[in-house]
């Protein structure tokens, strides 16, 4: 019986090849995971920015359509101009109240819109997404109103802080928060 003299790979050569492939796969997977985490983080921030801009836009419309605004610690009341579009769209409700409810352990911070002087109100209810896994939470609410006596207007400064929902995944790449601020001048008012 004749034994072939052909040589195969030795165990050491196989182990070195496996080690080199392991390093290459490790580098590629780390690069992929880093890119994916960056994508997820930017998606979270973009969603917060989009929702935050929508909410700030709605609040700014109320402010621009109002002839007067008054504040308390956690709310702002807009008295709408009867010639404004917001007045007509909101069932001819002259008073709109936006109330901030702070975040609790199991509920998102949110803004509620009511019109106490009206029976029906098209834009009423919660203007933020209350879903505790996918929605947003308002974690900060600050509003100030300054009278401008020379022009008979008011300057309304609104500052809101938005964060991921209370029960959103807790990994760092799934978390984000943004702060939006705007200043709006009301229509002239009568005092």
**Global confidence as pTM:** 0.72
Chain position carrying tokens 């769209």: 89
Q: What is the pLDDT of residues 171-180, one digit of tens each?
A: 666 678 889 9
Q: What is the pLDDT of residues 78-91, one digit of tens each?
A: 888 777 666 656 56
Q: Are 84 and 188 in contact (CB under 8 A)?
A: no
Q: How confident is the model at residue 101 (pLDDT cuts 50, 70, 90)?
A: confident
Length, in residues, of the chain: 191
In the chain, % of residues over pLDDT 90 = 16
Separation CA 50–CA 52 (nearest Å): 5
Q: How confident is the model at residue 162 (pLDDT cuts 50, 70, 90)?
A: confident
Q: Which of 43, 6, 9 is nearest to 174 (CA)?
A: 43
* DSSP code at position 84: S
Element (H, E) at 96: strand 95-101
């Amino acid at each position: 019986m004749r034994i072939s003299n052909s040589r195969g790979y030795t165990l050491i050569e196989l182990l070195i090849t496996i080690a080199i492939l392991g390093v290459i796969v490790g580098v590629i997977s780390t690069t992929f995971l880093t890119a994916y985490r960056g994508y997820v983080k930017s998606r979270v921030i973009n969603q917060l920015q989009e929702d935050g801009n929508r909410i700030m836009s709605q609040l700014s419309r109320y402010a621009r359509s109002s002839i007067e605004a008054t504040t308390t610690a956690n709310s702002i009341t807009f008295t709408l101009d009867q010639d404004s579009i917001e007045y007509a769209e909101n069932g001819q409700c002259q008073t709109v109240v936006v109330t901030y409810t702070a975040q609790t352990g199991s509920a998102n911070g949110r803004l509620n819109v009511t019109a106490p002087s009206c029976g029906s109100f098209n834009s009423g209810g919660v203007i933020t997404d209350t879903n505790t896994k996918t929605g947003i939470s308002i974690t900060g609410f600050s509003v100030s109103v300054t009278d401008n006596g020379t022009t008979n207007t008011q300057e309304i400064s609104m500052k809101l802080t938005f964060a991921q929902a209370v029960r959103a995944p807790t990994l760092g790449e799934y978390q984000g928060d943004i702060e939006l601020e705007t200043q709006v001048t009301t229509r002239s008012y009568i005092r």
